Amino acid sequence: MNHDTILHSLIADNLVSDPESARGRLLREAARLFRDKGYERTTVRDLAAAVGIQSGSLFHHFRTKEEILKAVMVETIRLNTAVMQAAMDAADTNREKLRALISAELESINGQTGEAMAVLVFEWRSLSEPSQAEVLKLRDIYESLWLEVLTALKEEGALVADPFVVRRMLTGALSWTVTWYRPERGGLSQEGLTDQVMAMLGLSKADSR
């Protein structure tokens, strides 16, 4: 199950929009703008211009501006949960499963579609409370993947700290990479960065204690 296969299966189930469709293109541009300028600083006129229509025409596709933000978040979390699940299933040991999760999360936030993931993390407050509750449910599924693996590692004795705390720390640390990590400028590769995170946790391959 590679990334594209997962994407198309979700599109078929109507769980995420086809990036080729009008809706999909708008959501992608919206994610980019929301990440670059923030939700509040992005106007409906900005959004419309990005896809080449009039600002009023946006409201044929979405009832409100906030609905666009919500759609970006919901579709992003759906896609990423599926991708993470697949990455985890493909790994054998718990240590490898964790590595797969870290690598996948780094990819999802720093990769090509990373705009949407950054929006999910940093624009949370701009979502109305009812919408937050909705997205929160989806996020719980996503988080349970992590806790499962971290708890297993703790039981193995490979992890000293509390799984719940470690996951929260990793959430912050990994999402923060979007503010400083620039792989295209040379230096550390994404795999290299994953290694660094594993090393930081004392979970490198060579490192058995």
Q: Is 43 in the site for DNA (CB under 7 A)?
A: yes
Question: Cα(first)–Cα(last) distance of the chain, in Å?
Answer: 34
> Quick one: which of 41, 58, 111, 144 contacts its own copies (CB under 8 A)?
41
With contact defined as beta carbons under 8 Å apart, do 162 and 98 qualify? no
CB of 115 to DNA, least distance (A): 18
The single residue among 44, 49, 91, 121 that binds DNA, judged by CB under 7 A, is 44
Angular region, 151: left φ>0, alpha ψ -120 to 50, beta rest: alpha
Measured from the CB atom, is 67 or 143 closer to DNA? 67
Question: In terms of CB distance, is 42 or 80 closer to DNA?
Answer: 42
DSSP state of 18: -
The residue from 5, 54, 128, 189 that contacts DNA (CB under 7 A) is 54
Per residue in 148-173, is it b (16+ CB within 10 Å) or e — as a string?
ebbbbbbeeebbeeebeebbeebeee
Contact residues for its own copies, defined by CB under 8 A = 37-38, 40-41, 122, 125-126, 160-162, 165-166, 168-177, 179-181, 188, 193, 196-197, 199-202, 204, 207, 209
